Amino acid sequence: MPFHRSPRDARQARPALPSSWKNWLGVLPFLLFTALFIVLPSVYLLVGAFRDNAGHFTLKNFADLFTPSILSAYWVTIRISLVTAVLGGLFGFMLAYAVTIGGLPRWMRSALLTFSGVASNFAGVPLAFAFIATLGRTGMVTVLLKHWLGLNLYDRGFNLYSFWGLSVTYLYFQFPLMVLIITPALEGLRREWREAALNLGASSLEYWRRVALPILLPSILGAMILLFGNAFGAYATALSLTGGFINLVTIVIGSQIKGDILYNPGLGYALAMGMVFVMAGAMGIYFLLRRRSERWLRR
Amino acid sequence: MKARALLGKLWSWFWIVLGVLYFFTPLLATFDFSLRARKGMLTFLAYEHIFKDVNFWRTFGFSLQMGFYTIIVSIVLVVPTAYWIRLRLPQLRPLAEFISMLPFVVPAIVLVFGLIRVFSGPPFHLTNTFTGTNALLVAGYVVLTLPYTYRAVDTGLAAIDVRSLTEAAQSLGAGWGTILLRIVFPNLRTAILSGAFLTLATVIGEYTMASFIVGIKAFGPYMSLVGQNKTYESSSLAIISFLLTWAFMGLIQLFNRGRAEGQLAGAR
């Protein structure tokens, strides 16, 4: 996502912008709306997280996050997000590579981008249905594998409603997102760089290891962080796939909204704030990486 | 050298074939499953059931309506703001960009948690009336899609010389309303339209916010309910919803003429 600038020369000849407090009125509706519907709810949860049931200040809610069941919810959510971010990232990268530099016909690039646009937006309830019809106990792939190869996935310990089943399902919207994000970065690799490296006697492998990958790495890692966040906040897919029988933070928060299953509203708020902290950390790293990657991809 | 190029091509084909398999297998399986509502034969019975279901049309209409409101509020909120910032308050750009990225940091489930706690109680009491609940849902959707809407509009504005156009319009006697309606909006047509269809694709089947704020009235919760009771119908719903997503994305591509931007949206 490069930063666009409009031409400057004409501007500099102009008088300075009229500066007046009235200018700020123009952005007031936007600031009010976001204050009301983003900042206020977040602050409400944050304040509530520091309160006990009687309304007094406490840090106990955050300490209570470190109980085994809540820790395990965070751990499973983080693990599933990491696994699908890395696997989806690698797979998406390979696909994007294949259609940009890999020497495939040109039309495949736009076809892949179209498919990716659709698949990355095809998430939630219908995605869960699709995977139940595919890899559920009577799903097509499950049945076909049993018929053709005599391989019974469910005897082998696979279960669609468990960690790996959920991961396979998440990957359906994760790798297309990677394709959409990383394709522009791959297209930003200049042919001259490769030619220069080869002229200097580098092999193709050396070119990738010492030129292309170091340039691409911030973009790849940055994209993987977006994928991480994408999976970390997912709720509908997990809920409709497992019926709520998987211990994810989003699922626990969902039950807490419906009816205080933690028997402590403050703990629920702390749980939600924990998600915000993880996401804020991830986005912080993302912006650092994006600044690095833009240095090379600026045109 | 030739052998190596061939190897490279094989390598590319390998990944593409894998991608095609991964992409189409679930669709094929779901479609196949949706045709088996009657034992021993393939029928469109499950689709008939869905299309005859009053609740399908009712919930779909409701979500479509919420989608339209979301689009209108987003446009009214984002376009003048982004325009004004480019024209008069360029120092505010980093702040506005930061604000528009905040929904990434606050996941939908956390946002809806906060929205319900804040707006169901005093002094707002939004959840006491139908209008209030719907308004809360639309506000949530505007926030949810804000990162994409803002970026689409801001990128669109970057492509035109906002200041020259404004000055030209002013020197011809146009007021702010005329400038917005007849200069800014038409020039941002592409950005606004692709933002609008992305919003629709996100909102129509949205589950997380809808299930907590309006419940079964919306299409996402309806699909979920069908999934709990009816096996074949749920597969046909998945196919219908996939075709809808495809239609929206196709329209976006049509407006963008094949560029990759504008299709990025988050998971639900």
Query: Is the per-residue pLDDT at A81 higher than 90?
Result: yes
Determine contact, residues B15/A178, Cβ cutoff 8 Å: no
Query: Is the per-residue pLDDT at B257 higher than 80?
Result: no
Q: pLDDT grade, residue A70 (50/70/90)?
A: very high
Q: pLDDT grade, residue B265 (50/70/90)?
A: low
Please answer yes or no on whether A44 and B118 come within 8 Å at the CB atom: yes
Q: Does A17 map to a domain?
A: no
Q: pLDDT grade, residue A290 (50/70/90)?
A: confident
Q: pLDDT grade, residue A18 (50/70/90)?
A: low
**Residue bearing tokens 């209570």:** A64
Q: Does A41 map to a domain?
A: no
Please answer yes or no on whether B263 and A180 come within 8 Å at the CB atom: yes
Mark out the alpha helices in B127-172 (DSSP H runs).
Answer: 130-158, 162-171
Give the model's pLDDT for residue B260. 47
Please tell me if residue A203 touches chain B, with a CB cutoff of 8 Å.
no
Give the model's pLDDT for residue A13. 57
Residue of A nearest to B107 (CA): A233
Determine contact, residues B136/B124, Cβ cutoff 8 Å: no
Give the model's pLDDT for residue A1. 42
Query: Is the per-residue pLDDT at B186 higher than 80?
Result: yes
Please answer yes or no on whether A27 and B81 come within 8 Å at the CB atom: yes
Give the model's pLDDT for residue B194. 87
> How confident is the model over A70-90, as a mean pLDDT?
96
Closest-CA residue to A51 (of A59, A39, A41): A59
What is the per-residue pLDDT across A170-228, written as a single tens digit (0 to 9) for each? 999 999 999 999 998 898 888 888 899 989 988 888 998 998 998 899 899 999 999 99
Please answer yes or no on whether B102 and A34 come within 8 Å at the CB atom: yes
Q: Does A14 map to a domain?
A: no
CATH number of the domain enclosing A94? 1.10.3720.10
Query: Is the per-residue pLDDT at A8 higher than 60?
Result: no
Residues B138-167 as b or e (16 or more Cβ within 10 Å = b):
bbbbbbbbbbbbbbbbbbbbbebbbbeebe
Please tell me if residue A245 touches chain B, with a CB cutoff of 8 Å.
no
Determine contact, residues B141/B70, Cβ cutoff 8 Å: yes
Q: Which among B16, B92, B238 is the nearest to A27, CB-wise?
A: B92
Please answer yes or no on whether B102 and A94 come within 8 Å at the CB atom: no
Optimal mutation site among B106, B116, B180, B226, interface A, most CBs of chain A within 10 A: B106
Phi, psi of A154, rounded to the nearest 5 degrees: -75, -25
Give the model's pLDDT for residue A105. 87
Determine contact, residues A116/A177, Cβ cutoff 8 Å: yes
> How confident is the model over B98-106, as a mean pLDDT?
92
**Residue B56, token pair as written in the block:** 């399908």
* Percent of chain A residues topping a pLDDT of 70: 92
Q: Chain B closest CA to A106's CA: distance in Å?
A: 12
Closest-CA residue to B117 (of A264, A257, A55): A257
Three-class SS state of A51: strand
Partners of residue A1 in chain B, C-beta under 8 Å: 151
> How confident is the model over B218-235, as a mean pLDDT?
92
Please tell me if residue A244 touches chain B, with a CB cutoff of 8 Å.
no
What is the per-residue pLDDT across B203-218, written as a single tens digit (0 to 9) for each? 999 999 999 999 999 9
Give the model's pLDDT for residue A14. 65
Q: Chain B closest CA to A72's CA: distance in Å?
A: 19
Q: pLDDT grade, residue A274 (50/70/90)?
A: very high
Determine contact, residues B108/B209, Cβ cutoff 8 Å: yes
Please tell me if residue B13 touches chain A, with a CB cutoff of 8 Å.
yes
Determine contact, residues B166/B87, Cβ cutoff 8 Å: yes
State chain B's mean pLDDT as an integer: 90
Determine contact, residues B160/A5, Cβ cutoff 8 Å: no
Give the model's pLDDT for residue A188. 85
Q: Does A60 map to a domain?
A: yes
Determine contact, residues A37/B77, Cβ cutoff 8 Å: no
Counted across chains A and B, CB pairs separated by less than 8 A come out at 290
What is the per-residue pLDDT across B154-169, written as a single tens digit (0 to 9) for each? 989 988 899 999 999 9
State chain A's mean pLDDT as an integer: 88
Q: Does A74 map to a domain?
A: yes
Domain limits for position A78: 56-298
Q: Does A72 map to a domain?
A: yes
* Percent of chain B residues topping a pLDDT of 70: 95
Q: pLDDT grade, residue A166 (50/70/90)?
A: very high
Please answer yes or no on whether A130 and B26 come within 8 Å at the CB atom: yes
Please answer yes or no on whether A118 and B224 come within 8 Å at the CB atom: no
Q: Give chain A's domain count.
A: 1
SS3 content of chain A, % helix, strand, coil (to 5): 75, 0, 25
Please answer yes or no on whether B227 and A128 come within 8 Å at the CB atom: yes
Residue of B nearest to A94 (CA): B15
Please answer yes or no on whether B85 and A17 come within 8 Å at the CB atom: no
* Percent of chain A residues topping a pLDDT of 90: 57
Query: Is the per-residue pLDDT at B245 higher than 50?
Result: yes
Query: Is the per-residue pLDDT at B266 higher than 50?
Result: no
Please tell me if residue B246 touches chain A, with a CB cutoff of 8 Å.
yes
Q: Which among B29, B159, B260 is the nearest to A134, CB-wise?
A: B29
Give the model's pLDDT for residue A123. 87
Partners of residue A127 in chain B, C-beta under 8 Å: 238
Which amino acid type is present at position A175? F
Please tell me if residue B256 touches chain A, with a CB cutoff of 8 Å.
no
Q: Which of A19-28, A103-112, B78-87, B256-265 has the lowest mean pLDDT?
A: B256-265
Give the model's pLDDT for residue A297. 60
Determine contact, residues B155/B191, Cβ cutoff 8 Å: yes
Residue of B nearest to A24 (CA): B89
Q: Does A50 map to a domain?
A: no
Partners of residue A45 in chain B, C-beta under 8 Å: 110, 113-114, 117
Closest-CA residue to B37 (of B53, B49, B55): B49
Three-class SS state of A57: strand
What is the per-residue pLDDT across B40-74, written as a single tens digit (0 to 9) for each? 888 999 999 999 999 999 999 999 999 999 999 99
DSSP letter, residue B121: S
Optimal mutation site among B21, B112, B113, interface A, most CBs of chain A within 10 A: B113
Give the model's pLDDT for residue B262. 52
SS3 content of chain B, % helix, strand, coil (to 5): 80, 0, 20
Terminal-to-terminal C-alpha distance of chain A: 12
* Distance (Å) of CA A27 to CA B83, B88, B96, B97, B169: 10, 10, 9, 13, 21
Query: Is the per-residue pLDDT at A298 higher than 80?
Result: no
Closest-CA residue to B163 (of A17, A23, A27): A17
Give the model's pLDDT for residue A153. 86
Please tell me if residue B254 touches chain A, with a CB cutoff of 8 Å.
no
Q: Does A48 map to a domain?
A: no
**Residue A233, token pair as written in the block:** 């906040």
Phi-psi region of A103 (alpha: psi -120 to 50; beta: other; left: phi over 0): left
What is the per-residue pLDDT across A231-273, written as a single tens digit (0 to 9) for each? 999 999 999 998 888 899 999 999 999 887 888 889 999 999 9
Element (H, E) at B77: helix B54-87
Q: pLDDT grade, residue A128 (50/70/90)?
A: very high
Query: Is the per-residue pLDDT at A109 higher than 70?
Result: yes
Q: Which residues does residue A51 pair with via DSSP β-bridges, in sequence order?
A: A57
Torsion sign over Cα B260, B261, B262, B264:
positive
Q: Give dist(CA B203, CA A297) in Å, integer.
A: 33
For chain A, positions 127-156, list CB contacts with chain B under 8 A: 127-134, 139-141
Q: Give dist(CA A145, CA A40) in Å, integer.
A: 52
> How confident is the model over B174-179, as a mean pLDDT?
91
> How confident is the model over A37-61, as a mean pLDDT?
93
Query: Is the per-residue pLDDT at B267 higher than 50?
Result: no
* Percent of chain B residues topping a pLDDT of 90: 66
Q: Which of A97-106, A289-298, B133-142 has the lowest mean pLDDT?
A: A289-298
